Amino acid sequence: MHRALETPKELAWHAANAALASSQLKLKQIDCVVLGTAPDAFDGVHMKSEYLADGCGGWGKPFLRCYVGGGTGVYAVAQACFQIASGMFDTALVVCEEKMSSCQPHPQAAFLTIFDPITEQPLKPNLLWIFALEQTRYMETYGITIEEIARVAVKNKRNALNHPAAQLAAELTVEDVLGSEIMAWPVHRLMVSPTSDGAAAIVIAAEEVARRVSDKPIWIQGIGWSLDSAYWTNRDLAYPEYVEKAAWMAYDMAGVKEPRKEIHFAEPYDPFAYKELHHLEGLQLAPKGQAPRLLADGVFERDGDLPVTPSGGLLGVGNPIAAAGMMKICELFWQMRGEAGKRQLPGKPERGVAQAWGDLMQVGTVVVMGTERPD
């Protein structure tokens, strides 16, 4: 949602404070702070990490900001995870913050500056166009219909009805989605996540600390990330190979051999409706081109065989870029702790995967979490 009254620092503070309260640790017990936040152009603050440092609690501490565009929210957890696994730190506070509303009249203008200044910017592209290209390629390659894509928006916006921070929760039908304006064919307005302000944070700890302070720690079992070529025009956009690479890196670490059987629920990145399906395929949770059929069969519903985006995702809750990825990590945590309230999945899920995506349709970041300590 738009939090016009809060400065970026204050948003970061709210999230950091809530995470510390949930972990029952004090800031002085935190060894290092990791920040994730997307382009500086939104806030118009140069060296945004330094500006946000004290809001995140990174004062008088090792502090750094990691950055992989839209993939940052999930990647930040991977960053903090290897920082702790290195033995250098025992505890880390990971904060993701985004304030898009200060970019007036619309943050889309800031996105013009992400394109190659020589070959692409003169064409004045925007994100809707390039994602429309990718969606078209995806639909064309596998013979997917627009109705099948629209179902994602219906599901996620409905799931978001139970999320206390949701910005665009709604009870809609496929007809409603297809009746909304066409932004750039085949992308309809209700298939696009909104721009948002928000922040989310978690605390992670080494095993000894985790066992001491919590009787219900959720374990990070695997982390993976992968960045593809900047020349997106030269790649086949029908299938996200970089997500597959990132997923296998995380699954191998987690000891997951058959993701479809061993992953109980998923929070893939869904800034556009088709992206959820696209990413489920990259995550090896659906065969190539088959995710839309599984969705139509109800497999991805909250009471389905493989619940997907029970939080409501970016389409329903909102898309404060880096914070949106972290919101997905938070959802895995709540679901496996049994603290998801009305969104709680049936059957005590024991392992989930969160994924984020970004840059020029280019980066996949994956975190596998579970109730069991990894080997």
Q: Cα 142 from chain centroid?
A: 25
Q: Please give the DSSP secondary-structure letter assigned to residue 233.
A: G
In the list 11, 19, 30, 48, the residue contacting other proteins (rule: CB under 8 A) is 48
Window contacting other proteins (CB under 8 A); options: 136-144, 222-230, 256-264, 329-337: 222-230
Q: Are the C-beta atoms of residues 333 and 202 closer than 8 Å to each other?
A: yes
CA distance 106 to 61: 35
Q: Are strands 265-267 and 351-358 parallel, antiparallel or unpaired?
A: parallel
| Residue 49 contacts other proteins per CB under 8 A | yes
| Residue 225 contacts other proteins per CB under 8 A | yes
| Residue 325 contacts other proteins per CB under 8 A | no
Closest distance of CB 158 from other proteins, Å: 31
In the list 223, 254, 314, 332, the residue contacting other proteins (rule: CB under 8 A) is 223
CA distance 17 to 25: 10
Window contacting other proteins (CB under 8 A); options: 76-84, 129-137, 200-208, 259-267: 76-84
| Per-residue binder mask for other proteins (CB under 8 A), 227-246, x = binder | xxxxx---------xx--xx
CB atoms within 10 A of CB 160: 25
In angstroms, the Cα distances linking 95 to 54, 129, 200, 229, 283 are 11, 31, 6, 28, 25
Residues 6 to 45: which contact other proteins by CB under 8 A? 7, 38-41, 43-45
In the list 18, 64, 174, 178, the residue contacting other proteins (rule: CB under 8 A) is 64
* Binding residues with other proteins: total (CB under 8 A): 64
User: 43 or 148: whose CB is closer to other proteins?
Assistant: 43
Smallest Cα–Cα separation from 196: which of 271, 126, 266? Answer: 271
Residue 72 CB contacts under 8 Å (≥ 6 apart), including other chains: 36, 37, 38, 66, 96, 321, 322, 325, 356, 358, 365
For residue 223, give the 3-state DSSP assignment. Answer: strand
Tokens of 279: 């990413």
Residue reference for tokens 């839309």: 292
In the list 359, 369, 370, 371, the residue contacting other proteins (rule: CB under 8 A) is 359
In the list 65, 157, 275, 279, the residue contacting other proteins (rule: CB under 8 A) is 65
| Residue 347 contacts other proteins per CB under 8 A | no
Tokens of 323: 């914070």
In the list 6, 62, 161, 299, the residue contacting other proteins (rule: CB under 8 A) is 62
Residues 250 to 289: which contact other proteins by CB under 8 A? none
For other proteins, the binding residues (CB under 8 A) are 7, 38-41, 43-54, 58-69, 75, 79, 81-88, 110-111, 113-114, 116-117, 223-231, 241-242, 245-246, 249, 358-360, 362-363
